Amino acid sequence: MLIPIKWLKEYVDIEGLSVRELSDGLTLSGSHVDSIINLNKGIKNVVVGRILSLTSHKDADNLKIAQVDVGSNVVQIVTGALNIRTGDLVPIALDGAVLPGNKRIEDTIIRGQASQGMMCSYEELGVEDKLVPKESKNGILILTSEFELGKDINEVLGFDDSILDIEITFNRPDCLSILGIARESAATFEKDFKFPEIEILKPEDEIGQYLKEVRIDSIDLCTRYYAKVIKDVKIGPSPLWLQRKIMDAGMRPVNNIVDATNYVMIEMGQPLHAFDLEKMDGRKVIVRAARDGETILTLDKEVRQLSSDMCVIADQENAQCIGGVMGGFESEITENTKLIIMECANFNSKSIRFTSKKLGLRSEASSRNEKALSPQNVSYANERVCQIIEQIGAGTIVNGHYDVGITDFDEKTVMMRPYKCHELLGVSIDTDKMLKILNSLELESRIEGDVIVSKIPHFRPDIEQEVDLIEEVGRIYGFEKIQPQALKGDILKGTRSDLANMEESIKNYLSGIGFYEITTYSFISPKKYAMLNISEKSDLFRDIRIINPLGEDFSSMRTTLLPGVMDVVSKNINYGNKSGMLYEVGNVFRSEKIPVIDLPQEIRTLSMAMYGDTNYYQMKGVVDNIMKQYQIDVEYVSVKDNPSYHPGRTADIYHNDICVGVLGEIHPSVAKKFDIKEKVYTTELNVETILSLQTTERKYAEIPKFPSITRDMALVIADQFEVGEVIKEVNSKSYEFLEKVEFFDMYKGKGIDEGFKSLAFSFVFRSKNRTLNDEEINQIFNNIVTDLQNRFNAKLR
Amino acid sequence: MEQKLIGIQRDVLMQIEQVDNIKDLENIRVQVLGKKGELTSLLRAMGSLSPEERPLMGKIANEVREVINQRIEEAKASISIKQQELDLIEEKIDVTIPGNFVSLGHRHPLMQVKKELEDLFLSMGYDVVEGPEIDTVENNFDDLNAPEDHPSRDKTDTFYITENLLLRTQTSPVQIRTMKSRKPPIRIVSAGRTFRFDDVDDTHSPMFHQMECLVVDKGVTMANLKDSIDKFVKTLFGENMKTRFRPHNFPFTEPSAEVDVSCLKCMGTGCDACSFTGWSMELLGCGMVHPNVLRNCGIDPDIYSGYAFGMGIDRVTMVKYGLSDIRLLFDNDIRFLEQF
């Protein structure tokens, strides 16, 4: 909300406060000043002049020579402007003038004619293009009011002022107005606030003569409608003071009537709408819900499709306005308009928001109407605008008004216990001080027994209960004045959940061995499942969808972390990063029922990917270590039919019959869909399963006192057998003294028959009680060899 | 014989002088003192001496042996020192060649900041709790006292899964979940993913991260809130950091405030980055838990009060590391990640 300080000062006595003091004070009492706009742009020696004559330049067709009276003398100015006429009042930059941006103007000669300065446009005086009134657009600024010739333009245009840009919170639509901020200023600085005196001096006739009926058919869409009629309307530009005020508040002047409504909207926060009474069929105003399929041509010459949840202002036949959002083209005020209806109404804020969003129409009016405005303000605002129109001579106000809908308002009171105020704020404030603060906010308050009782004025519907009054006291007293106090109570020790601790410990491990953590969105494109070759029958394909996503690419709650990780791998290869070890810990979303009804399952999942100079076994080593870390015995079961993975290089990871995750090389066809030419190894582990299987308990095992004996074996064995099977076989037999068996090499090729491979194992034997001798170990080792030869039909190499 | 012994000693000592390596010294030792050595064989001949001469010769022979032995050891020591010096020269390397890099991993900057913040509050006695990313309208809006017509509920602001389920727009539903499942005293911090209907630009992302704290107990005041935030901000950004509490409006707190901290560029003196105010805007939002929220969770606001505050982790991360584009955080370029 833009608040020109001079305008603000009309309602609150804040003379003597610097702009900075005003801005800081308001910010700290809750009206956050986002920025301060200084209107003084360093303009010097630009004055008001009257064009006495305009003659053409004999040597240039598109130039004119103007004689301009600037008070002290008459100057000659050569100009190319098209919008000026003899008699116009315009700003003249005299010799030695300075314009915004430190642009200097000097006497010069243009095509042989002396030019003693320059006529200025609004833009040249530093006014934003979008605020410039029509008559001065693309041309010289034509002053619409009389001023003394030679008067400094800074004074004329009010450039000796600053504007506060204030952020207004959702609960305070009353502050979307100069009066609202004036009330806040009065309370903040302990100054007097004055509401403008509203009086219509010379009303004529009776409203019934012009307007037959006003009625509300849809009270749920419009709770109060207050109409006035203005006759003998003379449409034209507004006087300069009015134009300048609304320009400083961020609105472009249009004509005297529209400017007056905007003026009151800015002043009081209540939107108004004026339209041509003679265009209203049957001279009736009917506020009703739009009919399904009804259309209206709006001010911006667009045909709008309406629906029954929108409010329209209609004559006896057709919708003429979209209530509270935008006027209709038909009933728009034009230069020929003589008789107007001035509408001021209280609309259903939700319906307004819906309508303006649905139609893609957002205006200063709709942005106010979509908030909870005071229905009581409606009458004040309408009388006020009529007063302004009378004052600027734009028309004659007709006696009387229509006021329909809800016009009786209950008085609301809220009570506050002073001790509760102390308790909540943690500061002791005198009851008298509390009363003073509340009264300064126009919350008429008095003590009744132990409590303060406040009457809530119509413009403060946000105050509903005790705590709201406490906040009012606190913010005007100043949060700054509340001294920090340490929390009382026991010193507690904070805890993290087991799951969070486990996540943390996995992340530490992965960081330690060189993995980079990534963060990807929880929603992905549903196309990614197909890119992973995931079958439509798979659970992973049964995803949860967002009903209003930003786009299809962000519409599916991921059922696996793999797509995100693959996208990141692909991107990094593209960036020229030659190798990568990446991981993400995040939730995947699953639901028994699709579409979901209840909260779905969110499963904490770890996904890792490696590419570059690496292989399956490096990825597996990482998983091995994680499992070792949490003391989980797992088996890797070869998987041929996981469509995302290489059929010969993939394993499901099992603890007994519980699946912990999957590990493998991404299927080349999947990699290709992600634009990846190289091999990518990935793992996806269920962190919650790891948590449930882990054993944190650790017991000391005695460090062996006696030496071990090691025997190596190279076994030639058919390709179909896997190392894991051999080790499992050995371990299943409990050979005496065998401490462990480890695989260390595999060989295929020369010397080994086709279809066979040589596997090398190392066997470590040890006794707890004595040093073993070679003979006894040889015997056991030979047994192992024989057993394995028999079991796998293998040969010693 | 004595002459012979002295002759051996003289000859051997001369030999030792000339030797420059340990191997030759060992050879000398063997030649002279070994089983078949010169001295040994000479001593064997001692049997032919008279009983008077024998002890005398024995003494001299032992002295000779000792002198030779000692000299050999000395020579050895000096040779090995010389050798070591030679070796040291020989082993010189270029110490400026880049070290063999043992690659460490990197935590994502957002996750690092999240952990730092959580740890900070853990040390202040807050429990770290988590909530789901998909939550109910009840937890995310209704029980948090969001007005029924609040624009944040619109489908243009919030992602919905069904009419009743949504992607949480804030971490505040965790407050509701906590207050409904625990009895005061409550002291929690919760951080995680949050979602809003925002197109991606330099400072917006449809997914971002928030962190928030909730304290509910008897006699909790706004003065306590100010104290906690002061401590938190000073720990996070340093002792010089000042805070400013500006009244604001949030549906779930009353009174509510936004907290500005000193401008990180000028530390409060005023510069172009802070429009010469000295304040860097809106680090966090805070307030006293609204009595309606307490009531919604079955806590009597006449007995208990509480405060809550929350902030954007992404924003803190961006301020902390000087990032101007939030997209960097979700692009996961290795060259970006390895900087943290």
Question: A387 CB near a chain B CB, below 8 Å?
Answer: no
Tokens in use for A9?
Answer: 């000062």
Q: How far apart are CA A167 and CA A149, in angstroms?
A: 40
Residue A767 CA: distances (Å) to CA of A699, A736, A764, A777, B319: 20, 9, 10, 11, 62
Write the pLDDT tens digit of every residue in A673-697.
999 999 999 999 999 999 999 998 8
Tell me which of B155, B158, B161, B280 to substitute to probe the interface with A (most A C-beta atoms closer than 10 Å).
B161
Look at the alpha carbons of B263, B268, B272, B275 in this order and tell me if their dihedral is positive or negative: positive
Q: Which of A433, A440, A403, A405 shows the shortest CA–CA distance to A418?
A: A433
Q: Is B108 near chain A, with CB under 8 Å?
A: yes
* Inter-residue contact B52 to B58 (CB < 8 Å): no
State mean pLDDT over A416-436: 95
Contact A544 B193 (CB under 8 A): no
For residue A578, give the chain B residue with the closest CA. B334
Give the closest-approach CA distance of B223 to chain A in angstroms.
Answer: 5
- The residue of chain A with its CA nearest to that of B139 is A599
Cα B287 to Cα A55, A264, B148, distances in angstroms: 69, 35, 21
Using a CB–CB cutoff of 8 Å, tell me whether B204 touches chain A.
Answer: no
Give the tens place of pLDDT for each residue, A54-90: 998 888 888 999 999 999 999 999 999 889 999 999 9
User: What is chain B's mean pLDDT, rounded?
Assistant: 90
Among the listed residues A163, A169, A307, the one whose alpha carbon sits nearest the alpha carbon of residue A246: A163
> Would the pLDDT of B138 be above 90?
yes
Verify whether the Cβ–Cβ distance B151 to A486 is below 8 Å.
no
Query: Which of A357, A519, A522 is nearest residue B332 as measured by Cβ atoms?
Result: A519
Cα nearest neighbour of A482 on chain B: B223
Select from B130, B246, B334 the Cβ nearest to the Cβ of A500. Answer: B130
Per-residue pLDDT band at B12 (split at 50, 70, 90): confident
Per-residue pLDDT, averaged over A438-463, amounts to 95
User: Of A29, A519, A568, which is closest to B110 when you measure between CB atoms?
Assistant: A519
User: Does the structure show a pLDDT above 90 at B61?
Assistant: no
Contact map slice: B 266-285 vs A, CB within 8 A: 275
Confidence of residue B37 (pLDDT cuts 50, 70, 90): confident
B254–A484 CB contact, under 8 Å: no
Chain A residue nearest residue B332, CA to CA: A518
Q: Which residue from A29, A485, A580 is facing B223, i.e. has the nearest CB? A: A485
b/e per residue A379-417 (b: at least 16 CB within 10 A)? bbbbbbbbbbbbebebbbbbebbbbbbeeeeeeeebebe
How many whole angstroms separate alpha carbon A518 and alpha carbon B332? 6
- Helices A498-512 and A616-629: angle between axes, nearest 10 degrees: 140
% of chain A residues with pLDDT over 90? 87
- The C-alpha of A134 sits at a distance from chain B's nearest C-alpha, in angstroms, of 33
Interchain CB contact of A546 with B (< 8 Å) = yes
Question: Considering only alpha carbons, which residue of chain B is nearest residue A367?
Answer: B151
Position A629 pLDDT exceeds 80: yes
* Neighboring chain A residues of B127 at a CB cutoff of 8 Å: 494-496
Please answer yes or no on whether A521 and B206 come within 8 Å at the CB atom. Answer: yes
A701–B contact, CB cutoff 8 A: no
Chain A residues with beta carbon closer than 8 angstroms to that of B274: none
Count Cβ atoms below 10 Å from residue B198 Cβ, excluding itself. 14
Cα gap A99→A141, rounded to integer Å? 14
- List, for residues A399-417, the tens digit of each pLDDT value: 999 999 998 888 899 999 9
- The answer to whether residues A191 and A12 touch, using CB atoms and an 8 Å cutoff, is yes
Using an 8 Å Cβ cutoff, are A607 and A684 in contact?
A: yes
- A334 pLDDT above the threshold of 90: yes
Chain A nearest-CA distance from B122, in A, is 5
Average pLDDT for A415-426 = 96
Question: By the 8 A CB rule, do A87 and A69 touch?
Answer: no
Tell if the CB–CB gap between A479 and B206 is shorter than 8 Å. Answer: no
Q: Does A600 touch chain B (CB under 8 A)?
A: yes
The Cα–Cα gap between A587 and A105 comes to 67
Residues of chain B with C-beta less than 8 angstroms from the C-beta of A519: 108, 110-111, 329-330, 332
Structure confidence at residue A570 (pLDDT): 97
Neighbour-count burial of A772, counting CB atoms closer than 10 A to its CB (0-12 exposed, 13-18 middle, 19+ buried): middle
Query: What is the DSSP secondary-structure string of A276-316?
Result: EGGGSGGGEEEEEEPPTT-EEEBTTS-EEE--TTSEEEE-S
**Predicted local distance difference test score (pLDDT) of residue B62:** 85
B119 touching chain A per CB within 8 A: no
Q: How confident is the model at residue B263 (pLDDT cuts 50, 70, 90)?
A: confident
Q: How far apart are CA A117 and CA A92, in angstroms?
A: 7
Which of B106, B120, B334, B340 is most worth mutating to test chain A (most A CB atoms within 10 A of its CB)?
B334
Q: Cis (ω within 30 of 0) for the bond into B185?
A: yes
Return the number of other C-beta atoms located less than 10 Å from residue B222's C-beta.
Answer: 27
**pLDDT exceeds cutoff 90 at B45:** no
Pick from B148, B149, B170: which is nearest to B159 by CA? B170
Chain A residue with Cα closest to B228: A486
CA distance B275 to A394: 42
Identify all chain A residues contacting B334, using CB atoms and an 8 Å cutoff.
Answer: 516, 572, 575, 577, 580, 582
Answer for the pair B154, A350: CB distance below 8 angstroms, yes or no: no
Which residues on adjacent β-strands are paired with residue A79?
Answer: A64
- Residues B221-242 have pLDDT tens digits of 999 999 999 988 888 888 888 8
A571–B185 CB contact, under 8 Å: no
Q: Does A169 contact B288 at a Cβ distance shorter than 8 Å?
A: no
Residue B71 contacts residue B79 (beta carbons within 8 Å): no
The residues in B 76-95 lying below 8 A from A, measured between CB atoms, are none
Listing DSSP states for A693-746 in one string gives H--------PPP-S--EEEEEEEEEETTS-HHHHHHHHHHT--TTEEEEEEEEE
Which residue would you say has higher pLDDT here, B62 or B205?
Answer: B205
Edge-to-edge strand ranges of the sheet holding A162-167: A2-4, A162-167, A32-38
Handedness of CA A289, A295, A298, A302 (dihedral sign): positive
Contact B244 A595 (CB under 8 A): no
* A475, A577, A587: residue with CB nearest B334: A577
Please name the residue that has the structure tokens 């079955």: B298
Q: Compute φ and ψ for A460, nearest 5 degrees.
A: -120, 60
A172–B contact, CB cutoff 8 A:
yes
Confidence grade of residue A7 (pLDDT, cut at 50, 70, 90): very high
Distance CA A506, CA A607 (A): 11
In the predicted model, is pLDDT for residue B86 greater than 80?
yes
| pLDDT of res. A594 | 84
List the strands of the sheet with A284-289, edge to edge: A213-216, A284-289, A311-314, A319-322, A326-327
The residue among A529, A629, A646, A633 whose CA lies nearest residue A588 is A529
pLDDT value at residue B98: 82
Pick from A667, A660, A710: nearest CA to A685: A660
Instruction: Give the pLDDT score at A555.
Output: 96
Answer yes or no: pTM beyond 0.95: no
**Interior angle at CA B144, CA B139 and CA B147, nearest 5:** 115
The DSSP bridge partners found for residue B106 are A516
Our CA-based measurement puts residue B275 at a distance from the nearest CA of chain A, in whole angstroms, of: 8
User: Which pLDDT tens digit goes with each residue over A712-771?
Assistant: 999 999 999 999 999 999 999 889 999 999 999 999 989 899 999 999 999 999 999 999
> B-contacting residues of A 648-667, CB under 8 Å?
none
A547 contacts on B by Cβ (under 8 Å): 155, 160-162
Average pLDDT of the residues in A458-466: 94
Least Cα separation, residue A663 to chain B (angstroms): 21
| Planar angle of CA A18, B286, A443, nearest 5 degrees | 60
Give the CA distances from residue A17 to residues A5, A21, A187, in Å, rounded to whole numbers and listed in that order. Answer: 11, 6, 14
Minimum CA–CA partner of B167 in chain A: A546
Residue A419 DSSP SS3 = helix
Task: List the single best residue of A220, A487, A554, A557 to mutate versus B (max B Cβ within 10 A).
Answer: A487
CA distance linking residue B139 with residue A621, whole number of Å: 43
A681: left (phi over 0), alpha (psi -120 to 50) or beta: beta
Cα-to-chain-centroid distance, residue A206? 50
Sign of CA dihedral A222, A228, A232, A236: negative
Q: Which one-letter DSSP state was computed for residue B283?
A: E
* Maximum C-alpha span of chain B: 130
- Shortest distance, CA B311 to any CA of chain A (angstroms): 18
Helix axes B222-237, B109-123, angle to 10 degrees: 130
Q: Is B104 on the interface with A (CB under 8 A)?
A: yes
B226 CB neighbours in chain A (<8 A) are: 479, 482-485
* Residue closest to A564 by CA, chosen among A649, A660, A668, A682: A682
pLDDT of residue B332: 96
Question: Distance from A79 to chain B by nearest Cα, in Å?
Answer: 39
**Residues contacting residue A768 through CB under 8 Å, at least 6 positions apart:** A702, A704, A705, A706
Distance CA B6, CA B4 (A): 5
Per the CB < 8 A criterion, the answer to whether A178 and A7 are in contact is: yes
What integer pLDDT is reported at residue A302 of this predicted model?
92
Task: Tell whether B245 lies on the interface with A, counting CB pairs under 8 A.
Answer: yes
pLDDT tens for A182-206 read 999 999 999 999 999 999 999 999 9
Contact criterion met (CB < 8 Å) for B334 and A516: yes
Helical segments of A478-524, H only: 498-512
